[in-house]
Amino acid sequence: MATDFTERTVEYDKLLADFKTLLKEKALKFTNQREKILETLYYSQEHLTPEALHQLIKEKYPELNAGIATIYRTLSMLEDNNIVSSLSFGAQGKKYELGAKDHHDHMICTKCGEITEFVDEVIETQQHKIADEHGFKMQDHSMQIYGICKTCQEQQ
């Protein structure tokens, strides 16, 4: 039976292979910077701001000397190709995450900032219904629930 680490590696290898294929299809180049950005997004498994992602990469690969502009450029490119998705929370700035996983919405703790992901079929269905009723051609949606997480409630 495979360990978590092995599974992750296999999954990442597939992600990377697909990424290379995509780049080739679009006549884009496979660079060290692009590889490390994808890898860091994958292994951090978090919702990262471009700035946070830049920090992580500078720490792990200082010799890469990656510039912040490249982080922004690559995140935009990845988003255009549906490899990552971005969230804009109440405060300023966007956070990015690998979109390889299925669509989901977010619950955000206003005390500790913890983000919980969830999917709810009732809501997904209802959203389409609402759009239809308004003659609106739905492309996407975004839903956030704000509140206090279990841990923070217990601490108070």
Partner DNA sequence: TTAGATAATGAGAGTGTTTATCAAGCCTTA
Partner DNA sequence: TAAGGCTTGATAAACACTCTCATTATCTAA
Residues that bind Zn ion (CB under 5 A): 109, 111-112, 114, 149, 152
Does position 118 interact with a copy of itself (CB under 8 A)? The reply is yes
In degrees and rounded to multiples of 5, residue 130 shows phi and psi of -60, -45
Do residues 152 and 112 make contact, with C-beta atoms less than 8 angstroms apart? Answer: yes
What binding mask, one character per residue, do residues 82-101 give for a copy of itself by CB under 8 A, x or -? ----x-xxx-x-x-------
130, interface contact from Mn ion, DNA, a copy of itself, none, CB < 5-8 Å by kind: a copy of itself
What binding mask, one character per residue, do residues 97-136 give for DNA by CB under 7 A, x or -? ----------------------------------------
Q: Which 3 state secondary structure label does DSSP give 84?
A: strand
Using only the alpha carbons of the chain, give its radius of gyration: 18
Residue 98 pairs in a beta bridge with 84
Q: Please select the residue that binds DNA; options are 11, 14, 17, 67, rule is CB under 7 A.
A: 67
In this structure, what DSSP letter does residue 26 have?
T
Q: Which helix (H) or strand (E) holds 128?
A: helix 121-133
| Residue 97 Cβ vs DNA, minimum distance, rounded to whole Å | 14
Q: Distance (Å, rounded) from C-alpha 76 to C-alpha 83?
A: 10
| Residue 64 Cβ vs DNA, minimum distance, rounded to whole Å | 6
Cα dihedral across residues 99, 44, 96, 17: positive or negative? negative
Do residues 64 and 30 make contact, with C-beta atoms less than 8 angstroms apart? Answer: no
Does position 139 interact with a copy of itself (CB under 8 A)? The reply is yes
Query: Judged by CB, which is closer to a copy of itself: 3, or 139?
Result: 139
| Residue 83 Cβ vs DNA, minimum distance, rounded to whole Å | 14
Where along the sequence are the contacts to DNA (CB under 7 A)? Answer: 23-24, 27-34, 49-51, 64-70, 72-74, 76, 92-94
